[in-house]
Amino acid sequence: MQNWLLPDYLSDILPAEARRIEELRRRLLDLYRAHGFEMVTPPLVEYTDSLLVGQSDSLSLQTCTLVDQISGRNIGVRADMTPQITRIDAHLLNREGVTRLCYCGTVLHARPAGLLSDRELMQIGAEIYGYEGVEADIQVIQLALESLMTAGVSAVRVDLNYPGITRALIQAFSGFNQDTITKIYTYLKDKDKTSLALLLDQYPTLPAQIKSGLLALPTLYGGVEILDKAQEILPPLAEVQKGIQSLRAIVAELNTAQLSIDLADVTGYAYHTGVIFALYADGWHEALVRGGRYDNLSEAFGRARAATGFSLDLRKLSTHLTPASPSKAIKAPWLNDKALNSQINALREAGYIVVQELPNSHISVDEFIFEQELVFEQGEWQLKKIAD
């Protein structure tokens, strides 16, 4: 047995990558702090009753579960931190006004999202609780864009959707069973209008407006002009109109961004209720950021709160960043010398990297370049340039 092998789609993070991830993590958390977000850190493992709220089958399938040896209850390794942050806001903080929370931690997926995806992600994100207006959605989208800008990503495209439109059309007809609803979502995801039409033909009492609206969804993708088309052909249901108006408000605020709209996009977790979005960029095979509104999720924790936010994977984002140059460092001997140790401490406090070489050894590193060393000359420790 080769003890050094890891399970599929899991990998170690080596020094250069770990440094890039950590530096980006610090910059993003500082950015969120500057916008008034408070950081929280939930546990890696929770009872599945808490982790799997919102009746999200996709989240349930992605969660690795086991039995707690103390309580005997089922526990899970988080696959998404959003339900945990929602629990903290609704149950622990228990605030009445608007709350802004940010977070960063590891999540584990039972299966990779794609062939080029990892199962272990470093998730970082920001959430706004307690505000129902579209202004909060705009704020988190703008912060998500600024996050990618901070990471050096350019030419970002914003994809928007409002899943409540699809949900409203389906719920307007009581004759659909759960199996049919699942098929509708599958055909919408695949843009399979032919199969969708054959399925809907099996329901002769389905109102013509609802049928035509569902069949129109696979065609409602493209630029912002799609909203005018949707206004014309979709039935005037309250939730449909609310969705279109919310998307119009966001488009108006993000007029400098590259935008696209797909009203048949049903990707993501089922707990989303309002506007959802994804950020893409040239050279990346999948979305860099996903987010949206999920007002109903906190009800599972005993207190209904409006909520919207986003998250991204730091590991994935760091893979396309320019490799960091090795840092300049100072080499010093390992001696029981007060003057030497005082000099080393002073250099470190001033921001220099000082590496002490252990006796009868040599330093083996990739992240540092030694251009200077501490040597004892003329009765004192001095910095000297290392000869090539």
3-class SS letters over 155-166: CEEEEEECHHHH
pLDDT for the residue numbered 362? 84
pLDDT exceeds cutoff 80 at 256 = no
Is residue 225 domain-resident?
Answer: yes
pLDDT exceeds cutoff 60 at 270 = yes
Contacts 24+ apart (CB under 8 A), 169-173: 169/210, 169/213, 169/214, 169/217, 169/234, 169/235, 169/237, 169/240, 170/214, 172/207, 172/210, 172/235, 172/237, 173/203, 173/206, 173/207, 173/210
Mean pLDDT over residues 68-96, rounded? 93
pLDDT for the residue numbered 301? 87
Residue 165: which of 299, 259, 262 has the closest Cα?
262
pLDDT exceeds cutoff 90 at 181 = yes
Is residue 289 domain-resident?
Answer: yes
pLDDT for the residue numbered 121? 95
Flag whether 39 is marked binding. no
- Same-domain pairing of 171 and 199: yes
Is residue 271 domain-resident?
Answer: no
The mean-pLDDT minimum among 112-116, 230-234, 302-306, 335-339 falls in 112-116
Q: What is the pLDDT confidence band of residue 91, given thresholds at 50, 70 and 90? A: confident
Is residue 266 domain-resident?
Answer: no
Q: Residue 197's domain spans which residues?
A: 163-260
Give the domain CATH number at 110.
Answer: 3.30.930.10
| Structure confidence by residue, pLDDT tens digits, 377-387 | 989 999 999 98
- Same-domain pairing of 179 and 210: yes
Structure tokens at 241: 């109109």
In whole numbers, what is the pLDDT of the chain averaged over residues?
A: 92
What is d(CA 182, CA 161) in angstroms, rounded to the nearest whole number?
19
- Same-domain pairing of 33 and 180: no
Convert the chain into a string of H (helix), E (strand) and C (coil): CCCCCCCCCCCCCCHHHHHHHHHHHHHHHHHHHHCCCEECCCCCEEEHHHHCCCCCHHHHHHCEEEECCCCCCEEEECCCCHHHHHHHHHHHHCCCCCEEEEEEEEEECCCCCCCCCCCEEEEEEEEEECCCCHHHHHHHHHHHHHHHHHCCCCCEEEEEECHHHHHHHHHCCCCCCHHHHHHHHHHHHCCCHHHHHHHHCCCCCCCHHHHHHHHHHHHCEECCCHHHHHHHHCCCCHHHHHHHHHHHHHHHHCCCCEEEEECCCCCCCCCCCCCEEEEEECCCCCCCEEEEECCCHHHHHCCCCCEEEEEEEHHHHHCCCCCCCCEEEEEEECCCCHHHHHHHHHHHHCCCCEEEECCCCCCCCCCEEEEEEEEEECCEEEEEECCC
Is residue 274 domain-resident?
Answer: no
Q: What is the pLDDT confidence band of residue 56, given thresholds at 50, 70 and 90? A: low
Flag whether 55 is marked binding. no
- Same-domain pairing of 232 and 174: yes
- Same-domain pairing of 288 and 359: no
Mean pLDDT over residues 3-12, rounded? 90
pLDDT for the residue numbered 12? 93
Is residue 11 domain-resident?
Answer: yes
Tracing tokens 């939730």 back to the chain, one arrives at 239
Give the percent of the chain with pLDDT over 70: 98
Flag whether 357 is marked binding. no
Decide if 91 contacts 301 (C-beta within 8 A). Answer: yes
Task: Give the chain's domain count.
Answer: 3
Q: What is the pLDDT confidence band of residue 202, given thresholds at 50, 70 and 90? A: very high
- Same-domain pairing of 182 and 256: yes
pLDDT exceeds cutoff 60 at 269 = no
- Same-domain pairing of 56 and 133: yes
Chosen domain end from 209, 226, 260: 260
pLDDT for the residue numbered 54? 65
Q: What is the pLDDT confidence band of residue 49, given thresholds at 50, 70 and 90? A: confident
Mean pLDDT over residues 45-73, rounded? 87
pLDDT for the residue numbered 22? 94
pLDDT exceeds cutoff 60 at 55 = no
Q: Report the DSSP beta bridge partners of residue 357.
A: 333
pLDDT for the residue numbered 99? 97
- Same-domain pairing of 9 and 124: yes
- Same-domain pairing of 184 and 66: no
- Same-domain pairing of 381 and 298: no
- Same-domain pairing of 6 and 138: yes
| Structure confidence by residue, pLDDT tens digits, 114-152 | 777 889 999 999 999 999 999 999 999 999 999 999 999
Flag whether 81 is marked binding. yes
- Same-domain pairing of 140 and 173: no
Is residue 229 domain-resident?
Answer: yes
pLDDT exceeds cutoff 60 at 100 = yes
Mean pLDDT over residues 193-218, rounded? 95
Give the percent of the chain with pLDDT over 90: 74
Flag whether 22 is marked binding. no
Is residue 217 domain-resident?
Answer: yes
